């Protein structure tokens, strides 16, 4: 696919952005108790895309909350296949993407994994331990079937690197909000807005901040610069503590906050 | 030996590959740090001033060169000439100090103020804490909670040396989880911190750099064997967890006719039972389930409790240059006692794996010269063995 041809996910997100809507991406760990209902609740309360985590034994980019969620899901027997089966029965009207570690992809095989995603109705993939230099074989498989590979951009990247990351990104660019792993923080890191602003200057692909955006106030702050936000640990914690209803209420709160600006 | 065989164990490809193995599978956040480390190592390794500085500290602080010792009694009993490379006699009691002194010197040169490290048995943690104390850097060591319990003495040692030790309670609570936690720390602290990885694993340049820092083991041993026996050994044997002591000694003999044997624990046989996979920044053989979840290793020795292996070992195995047999915990316990009783040397449980293979295979090696890397001393294991042997 040439860079000028938009994936369906990217076309959707660009249209929303251009219409003035901030993009809200809640994250839910697949296979965690109540995950399917949580996705439905998020979809019904204003999510624009939902990110589904495929639990992995060694999640190096995740902090304690998502680590625990992943472990619980694995202990309950979750596998990529069982999660894809669950996804097919979700019946939600919001694009879905997966977040998974690269060994899950590598082990299945690039083409096979890409086709599994397509069959489950999933629009894209975020693979946090697959940096630009190693991404070629997967991206070729994903491009071949119209899947969006959402690239991560990090605050540590020098200026010359960011345009190459953006050129490879499909759907949106995941602007990593801080130096660190996923988890809730008391404040939005200064790096979050700085990196998003660097990215906005060089790309027209939607720029969405994730990692360390922990509540509706931080979401509003991040959306002053970025096109949207991912809400990960704050959603997963609510799912573990209060179930799908708590997720729905939280997504609605963030939606209202970012709509009000 | 052909020219192509001689180029084995030189530099990996530009992408950090040994054949199909290796690479740099890290979060974007860490890519610039890995690139900076690679450039700094390349520059330092080519700088005679850095090399002289490292040589001096290896000589005057670590106690290099380590000697070789022929095991006359055990050799006679087994019908072989058994020669030990005595890395157990280095300061801090294992080969780990070679790599750590190199990395901490390099980190200092790069302007880093803090190091983080993972540890299994605690040897790498102790070595890291030692080097940090020597060079005035702060040091945090991540150690699986299971290992903290079975290696309490080394935990106390690290604390004495001024390091902070954090027990890791996630996953299998052993070495692989300590690596995860050290990587998470590094993702958050990369601007001030160097990750002092303890084996020939992780993202490029670590597998290459750590092997180069251990090359001194093989270079010395090659010279010592030639001087003493006038010949290269027929077998070079070392235990393999991540595989740093093995690559260190193999590097001195890869261009000879010696058979290179890396002994894995039966419960942690990445090469023997694994499939290619990607974890901890590298592509290598990895014990994993049908969905690519990394499996837990189970070995009597904390230092070998690792489901993966350094990528260069995967490469050496794939081209048939090195062999990776396994031994059981029971064989290891026998070998541990044998070396103590017959030679008066208490080996680390890790190295007892190498000896267990040698004693088992000795009938097929009659009259041969077998060089074994005694990569660490067994003091740290005495408490655990006391419980096992009653």
Contacts of A132 in chain B (CB under 8 A): 28, 31
Instruction: Please answer whether residues A153 and A166 qualify as being in contact, where contact means their C-beta atoms are separated by less than 8 angstroms.
Output: yes
Are the C-beta atoms of residues B65 and B220 closer than 8 Å to each other?
yes
Q: How confident is the model at residue B273 (pLDDT cuts 50, 70, 90)?
A: confident
Contact assignment for A131 to B26 by CB distance below 8 Å: yes
Model confidence band, residue B239 (pLDDT cutoffs 50, 70, 90): very high
What's the domain count of chain A?
1
The ranges of chain B annotated as CATH 3.40.50.1100 are 16-57+96-206, 63-94+216-389
Identify the pLDDT of residue B390.
84
Q: CA-to-CA distance for A30 and A87, rounded, in angstroms? A: 9
Contacts of B92 (CB under 8 A, 6+ apart): B62, B123, B126, B127, B130
User: Which residues of chain A fall below pLDDT 70?
Assistant: 1-4
A163 assigned to some structural domain? yes
* pLDDT band, very low/low/confident/very high, at B150 (cuts 50, 70, 90): confident
Q: Collect all residues with Cβ–Cβ distance below 8 Å to A251 and sequence separation of at least 6.
A: A24, A26, A41, A42, A45, A46, A47, A231, A235
Determine which helix (DSSP H) or strand (DSSP E) holds A150, and give its type and residue range.
Answer: strand A148-150
Averaged pLDDT for residues B290-300: 92
- Is residue A12 in some structural domain? no
pLDDT above 90 as % of chain B:
88
pLDDT tens-digit readout, B193-226:
999 999 999 999 999 999 999 999 999 999 999 9
> So what's the pLDDT on residue A4?
55
The pLDDT assigned to A168 comes to 97
Identify whether A8 is part of a domain.
no
* A219 within a domain of the structure (yes/no): yes
pLDDT at position B302 is 82
- Which of A57, A60, A151 lies at the smallest CB-CB distance from B183? A60
Which residue of A lies nearest to B176 if distances are taken between CA atoms? A58
pLDDT of B313 over the 80 cut: yes
- Read off the CATH number of the domain in which A95 is found: 3.20.20.70
- Find the closest chain B residue to A66 by CA distance: B170
Written out in words, the top-level CATH class of the domain with range B63-94+216-389 is alpha beta
Residue A7 located in a structural domain:
no
Pick among B23, B29, B34 to test the A interface (most A CBs inside 10 A): B29
Chain segment B113-141, per-residue pLDDT in tens = 999 999 988 999 999 999 999 999 999 99
Nearest-by-Cβ selection for A133 from B15, B30, B288? B15
Tell me if chain B has a CB within 8 Å of the CB of A3.
no
Is residue A205 in some structural domain? yes
Q: With an 8 Å Cβ cutoff, are B31 and A71 in contact?
A: no
Q: Which residues of A are catalytic?
A: 51, 62
Task: State the pLDDT at residue A30.
Answer: 98
Chain B: give the shortest CA distance to residue A139, in Å.
15
User: Is A2 a domain residue?
Assistant: no
Question: How many A-B residue pairs are in contact by the CB < 8 A criterion?
Answer: 117
Nearest to A178 by CA among B191, B197, B180: B191
Residue A176 forms contact with B (CB below 8 Å): yes
Considering chain B, what is the average pLDDT of its residues? 95
Q: Which residue of B has its CA nearest to A71?
A: B171
B54-103 residue pLDDT tens: 999 999 999 999 999 999 999 999 999 999 999 999 999 999 999 999 99
Q: Does domain B16-57+96-206 have CATH number 3.40.50.1100?
A: yes
Angle value at C-alpha B239, between B233 and B245, nearest 5 degrees: 80
Domain residue limits at A116: 22-260
Query: Shortest CB distance from B28 goes to which of A80, A107, A152?
Result: A152
Write down the H helix ranges in chain A.
8-18, 35-44, 64-75, 80-88, 102-108, 110-119, 136-144, 162-168, 190-202, 216-223, 233-260
* ipTM, 2 dp: 0.96
Assess contact for B359 and B351: CB atoms under 8 A. no
């Amino acid at each position: 696919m040439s860079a000028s041809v938009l994936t369906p996910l990217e076309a959707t997100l660009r249209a929303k952005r251009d219409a003035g809507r901030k993009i809200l991406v809640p994250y839910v760990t697949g296979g965690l108790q109540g995950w399917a209902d949580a996705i439905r609740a998020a979809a019904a309360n204003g999510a624009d895309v939902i990110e589904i985590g495929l639990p992995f034994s060694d999640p190096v980019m995740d902090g304690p909350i998502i680590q625990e969620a992943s472990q619980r899901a694995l202990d309950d027997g979750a596998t990529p296949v069982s999660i894809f089966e669950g996804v097919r029965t979700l019946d939600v009207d919001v694009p879905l993407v997966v977040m998974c570690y690269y060994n899950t992809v590598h082990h299945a095989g690039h083409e096979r994994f890409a086709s599994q995603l397509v069959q489950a109705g999933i629009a894209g993939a975020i693979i946090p331990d697959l940096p630009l230099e190693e991404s070629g074989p997967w991206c070729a498989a994903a491009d071949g079937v119209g899947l969006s590979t959402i690239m991560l951009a990090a605050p540590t990247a020098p200026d010359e690197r960011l345009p190459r990351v953006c050129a490879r990104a499909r759907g949106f660019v995941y602007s990593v909000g801080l130096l660190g792993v996923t988890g809730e923080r008391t404040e939005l890191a200064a790096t979050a807005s700085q990196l998003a602003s660097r990215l906005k200057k060089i790309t027209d692909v939607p720029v969405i901040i994730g990692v360390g955006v922990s509540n509706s106030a931080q979401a509003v702050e991040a959306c002053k610069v970025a096109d949207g936000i991912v809400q990960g640990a704050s959603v997963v914690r609510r799912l573990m503590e209060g179930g799908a209803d708590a997720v729905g209420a939280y997504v609605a709160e963030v939606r209202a906050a970012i709509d009000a600006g | 030996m052909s020219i192509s065989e001689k180029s084995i164990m030189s530099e990996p490809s530009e992408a950090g590959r040994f054949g199909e193995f290796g690479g740099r599978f890290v979060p974007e956040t860490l890519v610039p740090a890995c690139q900076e480390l690679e450039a700094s190592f390349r520059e330092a390794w080519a700088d005679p001033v850095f090399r002289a500085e490292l040589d001096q500290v290896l000589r005057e602080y670590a106690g290099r060169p380590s000697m070789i010792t022929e095991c006359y009694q055990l050799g006679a009993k087994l019908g072989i000439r058994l020669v030990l490379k005595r890395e157990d006699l280095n300061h801090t009691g294992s080969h780990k100090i070679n790599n750590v002194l190199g990395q901490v010197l390099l980190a200092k040169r790069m302007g880093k103020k803090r190091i983080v490290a993972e540890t299994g048995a605690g040897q790498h943690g102790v070595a890291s804490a030692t080097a940090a104390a020597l060079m005035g850097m702060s040091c945090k060591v991540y150690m699986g909670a299971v290992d903290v319990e079975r290696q309490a003495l080394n935990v106390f040692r690290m604390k004495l040396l001024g390091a902070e030790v954090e027990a890791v309670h996630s996953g299998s609570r052993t070495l692989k989880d300590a690596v995860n936690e050290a990587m998470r720390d590094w993702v958050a602290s990369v601007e001030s911190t160097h990750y002092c990885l303890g084996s020939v694993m992780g993202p490029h340049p670590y597998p290459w750099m750590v092997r180069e820092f251990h090359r001194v083991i093989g270079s010395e041993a090659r010279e010592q064997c030639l001087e003493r026996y006038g010949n290269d050994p027929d077998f070079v044997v070392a235990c393999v967890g991540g595989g740093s002591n093995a690559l260190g000694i193999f590097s001195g003999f890869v261009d000879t006719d010696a058979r290179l044997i890396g002994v894995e624990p039966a419960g942690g046989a990445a090469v023997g039972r694994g499939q290619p996979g990607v974890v901890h920044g590298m592509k290598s053989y990895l014990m994993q389930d049908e969905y690519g979840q990394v499996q837990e290793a189970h070995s009597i020795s904390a230092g070998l409790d690792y489901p993966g292996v350094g990528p260069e070992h995967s490469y050496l195995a794939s081209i048939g240059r090195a062999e990776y047999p396994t031994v059981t915990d029971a064989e290891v316990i026998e070998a541990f006692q044998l070396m103590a009783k017959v030679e008066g040397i208490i080996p680390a449980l890790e190295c007892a794996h190498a000896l267990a293979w040698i004693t088992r295979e000795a009938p097929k090696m009659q009259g041969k010269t077998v060089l074994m890397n005694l990569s660490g001393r067994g003091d740290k294991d005495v408490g655990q063995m006391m419980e096992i042997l009653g």
